[in-house]
Structure 1
Amino acid sequence: MLDIPDEPIDWRAKGFWAPSGGGPARGASIFDGGFTWPLLTVRESAVRANVATMAAYCARHGFDFAPHAKTTMAPQLLELQFEAGAWGMTVATPNQALVMRRLGVPRVLIANEVLDPAALRWLAAEVAAGWEVWFQVDSPAGVAAAAGAATSAGGHLRVLVELGHAGGRTGVRDLGELEAVARAVAAAPVLTLSGVTGYEGQLSDEPSVDAFLDELASGVRRLGAAGLLPPVPIVSAGGSAWFDRVTARLAGAGLGQLILRSGASVTHDDGFYREKTPFNRVPVEGPLHAAMEMWAQVISVPEPGLALAGMGKRDAPFDEGLPIVLDPPTGLTVTKLNDHHCYLRADPGVPVKPGDLIRFGLSHPCTAFDKWRHIPLIDDERRLVDVLDTYF
């Protein structure tokens, strides 16, 4: 069980209407006056189904699951994933790792490079205290920073060498560099090389993804043959768009402990991941269900064919596609967002008036949750089950 703080709901909680504190009781409908618009909600049934689907998927393919916690940073959702058998959690920054440590997450992969000496010294101290945490290195400078901090802290650090690809994010660009960084780690007594990691999510097509994953496997074999890896190294990859190719190329290859990191699956969406989910290619393995809903009122209909809803960039993600209207099901299209306004094109004859409540689907959960400190977890009748607190 995670150590989940009991956060109060009061006037600071966006979307909750609690001017005197307290907030709505469990079982209250989101339409009963304890909430105000706009409001982001998460459906519990969809989350639970998604968590079960991904747990079963990883088990079928021989992978451990360390879902990327940065998607939601919501401890209640992380706990559901642990209850379903998650091996650990993935994060992107030392601050997110600190949150995981305070929540009691037992294992964490930092799927990123860490060069901040203060953060590295803290990580070394936590490793010495028994915490299982790893981060990535892709350069001699990164190795030197880690070794210097570990030495200063009187401890040691566990690292993963990262393979990248041209035009991508972090990670060395070829296997020669991969081995050079691995040898630099091996030469530092205060560092332990635990395995190899990579990220395929920015690649645009299946052949390029497969080629990158094959190179990752070749890199693991090369470092193993050179005596640079432990007997069972960690081998980790997997965004939320290509995890079917990760399992297809790496499962059964005898590489080591395989860890998938796909994080957006916990809530899925009605945009980017609806289009990109691997379960579109392998439907028998899925599906995932969109769990996020945004509710907002029409606040103005200033001219024919145009309506404005009280929701904007401060509330809804827009980096991977605009929100879509789910209810009413036809006739209204989101065309743009301002900070606090959503522009809706209304088809001829579509009745829309100030005060109407609209349900929106969202694209990209990773930039939805970070806009909300408290999010109602609701049942299928839109009654409050719990309040998700986020720690970004």
Structure 2
Amino acid sequence: MQIKELDTPFVLIDLERMGANIRDMQQIADLGRVRLRPHAKTHKMTEVATLQIEAGAVGVTVAKLGEAEVMADGGVRDILIAYPIIGRRKIERLAALLPRAAITLAVESEEGIAAAAEAGRLAGCRVAVLIEVDSGFRRVGVKPEAEFLRALAARITEESSLELKGLLTFAGQSYDTESDEERRRIATIEAGTVERLAAMLEADGYRMEIVSAGSTPSSRFVAGLPGVTELRPGTYVFGDLMQVKLGAHELDRCALTVYTTIISRPAPDRAVVDAGTKLFSSDGEDSPIGTGRGYAIGHPDVTLEWMTEEHGMLRLDEAARGLRIGDRLAFIPVHCCGVINMTDRVAAVRGSEVEAIWNVAARGKFQ
């Protein structure tokens, strides 16, 4: 099938660009001599996870238990759930999942430790856990102070169904930076925080097999820093305008686009496409290159100025005023993760050909 035969709006994944992105991040990890465990919340598809693992990733990271269940269904056998598991129903679901894959959990509270331990008892196995440390983002994670780490480590070792494997952190503040110098500084703090605490726990007799850090903006700086053993970037696999702004991606390497049709030309300098916030989402700020809520590939003279739920309003500079109703435009979005969670299917394309239609199997798996 040709791309032009697709009904719109449709999300396209450029296989060549995605493949290059996967290889490049794997090379960053390999050169830094660290493991790569990509965050699957970006793509939510087992097909993409499989390509990442075939390229050298050790497994995947997920946010929610529902994503972990989908990845296990698709044959992924090494999964880190980097999110607190709280509540009886989730404990039961986790217990059912444990025999199906090598599951590692992030914990950062007494309640989270108790939940993980109960799941392990129900499943009749030991559960690998990482203590999540706050390295400055102030979301979740224990304070990076000795007394808190030691208390949680001791609590974990009290549970025969748990095995402490190491530490995990996420320096999400790297998304608010303006320069590589700032990103490098935050990456140094991120890595230095967990390196210091891991060394302390090692000295206390705990084995720190995994020290996990890194996001798409920070991984190129974190890789190879002392103490870090694992990277968890996610958005790199597709790229988007947010990552272009952060210097973590190039515009011509962005692999995900929203394919649209012009449905209205209400004025010479205006057009409307058939996708709005229910596909683009409303995540993030405007394009860093001055094209509004997206970038129309091949049309820098088009600005996706604003959106309602089903309409995308374009402002057309003089050079773009030849566009007509029925013409197609492909947009790089501001935030690819938000787009993926808005669609059931994507078209995996190579050149002008659609090679496959993939189901976004973990879409909406927020539990």
**Do both proteins adopt the same fold according to a TM-score greater than 0.5, normalized to the shorter chain?**
yes
Distance apart, 1:370 and its partner CA: 1.4
- SS of residue in 2 equivalent to 1:48: helix
Which of 197, 200, 206 aligns to 2:171? It is 200
For the 8 Å contact 2:269–2:317, the answer to whether it is kept is yes
Pair 165,85 (structure 1): closer, same or farther in 2 beyond 3 Å? closer
CA distance in 2, matches of 1:288, 1:159: 39
- SS of residue in 2 equivalent to 1:87: coil
> Which residue does 2:300 correspond to in 1?
330
Q: Spell out, residue by residue over 1:59-109, the C-alpha distance to the aligned partner (whole angstroms, 9 max, x if none).
A: 111011111111111122111112111111110011111111111111001
- SS of residue in 2 equivalent to 1:368: helix
For the 8 Å contact 1:75–1:389, the answer to whether it is kept is no
Q: Spell out, residue by residue over 1:295-339, the C-alpha distance to the aligned partner (whole angstroms, 9 max, x if none).
A: 212211223422211111112243124212223x23221111111
Q: Spell out, residue by residue over 1:212-234, the C-alpha distance to the aligned partner (whole angstroms, 9 max, x if none).
A: 3211110110111111225xx11
CA distance in 2, matches of 1:288, 1:51: 15
For the 8 Å contact 2:243–2:249, the answer to whether it is kept is no
Pair 125,76 (structure 1): closer, same or farther in 2 beyond 3 Å? closer
Q: Spell out, residue by residue over 1:150-170, the C-alpha distance to the aligned partner (whole angstroms, 9 max, x if none).
A: 334443321100101445221
CA distance in 2, matches of 1:288, 1:295: 16
Distance apart, 1:363 and its partner CA: 2.2
CA distance in 2, matches of 1:277, 1:193: 35
CA RMSD of aligned residues (A): 2.1
Paired residues, number: 346
For the 8 Å contact 1:268–1:288, the answer to whether it is kept is no
CA distance in 2, matches of 1:318, 1:193: 39
CA distance in 2, matches of 1:188, 1:317: 43
Within 5 A, what are the aligned runs for 1:137-156?
Answer: 137-156=107-126
- Give structure 2 stretches of 5+ with no counterpart: 286-292
For the 8 Å contact 1:198–1:237, the answer to whether it is kept is yes
For the 8 Å contact 1:166–1:173, the answer to whether it is kept is no
For the 8 Å contact 1:162–1:178, the answer to whether it is kept is no
CA distance in 2, matches of 1:52, 1:40: 22
Within 5 A, what are the aligned runs for 1:357-368?
Answer: 357-368=328-339
> Which residue does 1:172 correspond to in 2?
142
CA distance in 2, matches of 1:76, 1:125: 23
> Which residue does 2:280 correspond to in 1?
316
Matched, 1:344 2:314: yes
One-letter code aligned to 1:185: I
Further displaced range: 316-325 or 191-200? 316-325
For the 8 Å contact 1:240–1:277, the answer to whether it is kept is no
Which of 294, 297, 303 aligns to 2:267? It is 303
Within 5 A, what are the aligned runs for 1:1-392?
Answer: 28-32=1-5, 35-127=6-98, 129=99, 131-176=101-146, 177-203=148-174, 204=177, 205-206=182-183, 207-229=185-207, 233-250=209-226, 253=227, 258-269=229-240, 271-278=241-248, 289-321=253-285, 322-327=293-298, 329-348=299-318, 350-380=321-351, 382-391=352-361, 392=363
Further displaced range: 72-81 or 143-152? 143-152
Identity %: 25
CA distance in 1, matches of 2:23, 2:310: 36
> Which residue does 2:288 correspond to in 1?
none
Distance apart, 1:292 and its partner CA: 1.4
Distance apart, 1:117 and its partner CA: 2.9
For the 8 Å contact 2:39–2:233, the answer to whether it is kept is yes
> Which structure shows the higher helix fraction?
2
Pair 173,157 (structure 1): closer, same or farther in 2 beyond 3 Å? same
For the 8 Å contact 1:147–1:190, the answer to whether it is kept is yes
For the 8 Å contact 1:90–1:261, the answer to whether it is kept is yes
TM-score (norm 2): 0.88
The structure that has the greater radius of gyration is 1
CA distance in 1, matches of 2:122, 2:19: 44
- Give structure 1 stretches of 5+ with no counterpart: 1-27, 281-286
- SS of residue in 2 equivalent to 1:86: coil
For the 8 Å contact 2:137–2:171, the answer to whether it is kept is no
For the 8 Å contact 1:162–1:196, the answer to whether it is kept is yes
- SS of residue in 2 equivalent to 1:351: coil
- SS of residue in 2 equivalent to 1:70: coil
Pair 220,82 (structure 1): closer, same or farther in 2 beyond 3 Å? same
- SS of residue in 2 equivalent to 1:272: helix
CA distance in 2, matches of 1:374, 1:344: 25
Q: Spell out, residue by residue over 1:268-311, the C-alpha distance to the aligned partner (whole angstroms, 9 max, x if none).
A: 12x0112224468xxxxxx9811112221221122342221111
For the 8 Å contact 1:238–1:260, the answer to whether it is kept is yes
- SS of residue in 2 equivalent to 1:208: helix
TM-score (norm 1): 0.82
For the 8 Å contact 2:257–2:332, the answer to whether it is kept is yes
Distance apart, 1:137 and its partner CA: 0.8
One-letter code aligned to 2:153: A
CA distance in 1, matches of 2:39, 2:359: 17
CA distance in 1, matches of 2:16, 2:62: 25
Distance apart, 1:354 and its partner CA: 2.1
